[in-house]
Amino acid sequence: MKCHVCGSELESIVTDLPFKVTNKKIVIIEDLPIHQCSQCREFLLDDFVMERVEAILEAVDTASKLEVVEYAA
């Protein structure tokens, strides 16, 4: 798969990514499978991964400012 930004190859990796849910809430999802460009570091998520991320973000506690959640496929 090619990067839509620079045209380099995308690599399948597992990493941790932050998601800003509200102005005062950040959720870090650990062990997230993504495709990342080896040159410009742009990344893509598969549709099924993004659906799971959305479900995780909808279920988080909005009372805390920071939450760390493991992506369990």
**pLDDT tens sequence for the chain (73 residues):** 899 999 999 999 999 999 999 999 999 999 999 999 999 999 999 999 999 999 999 998 878 899 999 998 6
Domains, the chain, ordered by start: 10-70 (3.10.20)
3-state class of 3 per DSSP?
coil
Quote the tokens at residue 38: 């080896």
Work out the burial of residue 32: count CB atoms within 10 Å of its CB; fewer than 13 is exposed, 13-18 middle, 19 or more buried. buried
